[in-house]
Amino acid sequence: MTRIGIIGGGAAGIAAAITAARNDREAYVFILEQKEKAGKKLLATGNGRCNLTNRQADGSDVESCYHGGNIRFAGEVLKQFGYADTRSFFASMGLVMKERGDYVYPRSDQASTVLDLLDLELKRLGVEVFCQARVQSVLWDRSDFCLEAKVCKQGCEKKGRQSRQIESRELSQIFKADRIILACGGKAAPAFGSDGSGYEIAKSFGHRMTPVVPALVQLKVKEHPFAKASGVRTDAKVTALIDGVPVAEDTGEVQITAYGISGIPVFQISRHIALGLYRKKRAEVLLDLLPEYTAEEADELLIRMAGRHTGITMGECLAGIFNQKLVPCILTLAGVRMQARISETDRRRIQGIVRQCKSVCLRIQDTNGFENAQVCAGGVRTDEIDPRTMESKRVKGLYLAGELLDVDGICGGYNLQWAWATGSIAGRAAAKGRKVS
Contact 426, 394 (CB under 8 A): no
How many Å apart are CA 401 and CA 385, to the nearest integer? 10
Quick one: 257 or 356, whose CB is closer to ligand FAD? 257
Q: Residue 85, SS3?
A: helix
Contact 105, 417 (CB under 8 A): no
For residue 132, the minimal CB distance to ligand FAD (Å) is 9
Quick one: 45 or 313, whose CB is closer to ligand FAD? 45
CA distances from 178 to 113, 400, 431 (A): 33, 15, 10
For residue 201, the minimal CB distance to ligand FAD (Å) is 7
For residue 273, the minimal CB distance to ligand FAD (Å) is 18
For residue 352, the minimal CB distance to ligand FAD (Å) is 40
For residue 148, the minimal CB distance to ligand FAD (Å) is 10
How many Å apart are CA 298 and CA 291, to the nearest integer? 9
Chain-centroid distance, C-alpha 330: 32
How many Å apart are CA 132 and CA 86, to the nearest integer? 28
Quick one: 35 or 207, whose CB is closer to ligand FAD? 35
Contact 331, 318 (CB under 8 A): yes
Quick one: 2 or 374, whose CB is closer to ligand FAD? 374
Quick one: 238 or 416, whose CB is closer to ligand FAD? 416
| φ/ψ of residue 337, rounded to 5 | -75, 145
Contact 284, 362 (CB under 8 A): yes
Quick one: 317 or 380, whose CB is closer to ligand FAD? 380
For residue 3, the minimal CB distance to ligand FAD (Å) is 17
For residue 238, the minimal CB distance to ligand FAD (Å) is 20
Quick one: 16 or 318, whose CB is closer to ligand FAD? 16
Strands (E), 92-232: 97-100, 103-106, 128-130, 133-140, 145-159, 162-177, 179-182, 209-215, 219-221
Contact 375, 409 (CB under 8 A): yes
For residue 421, the minimal CB distance to ligand FAD (Å) is 11
Residues in contact with ligand FAD by CB under 6 A are: 7-13, 32-35, 41, 44-46, 50-51, 134-135, 183-185, 188-189, 192-194, 197-198, 374-375, 402-403, 413-416, 419
Quick one: 56 or 197, whose CB is closer to ligand FAD? 197
Among residues 403, 373, 405, the alpha carbon closest in space to that of 386 is found at 405
Question: Which of 93-131 are b and which e, b meaning 16 or more Cβ less than 10 Å from the residue's Cβ?
Answer: eebebeeeeebbbbebeebbbbbbbbbebbeebebebbb
- DSSP 8-class letter at 268: H
Quick one: 49 or 358, whose CB is closer to ligand FAD? 49
Q: How far apart are the first and last CA of the chain?
A: 13
For residue 47, the minimal CB distance to ligand FAD (Å) is 7
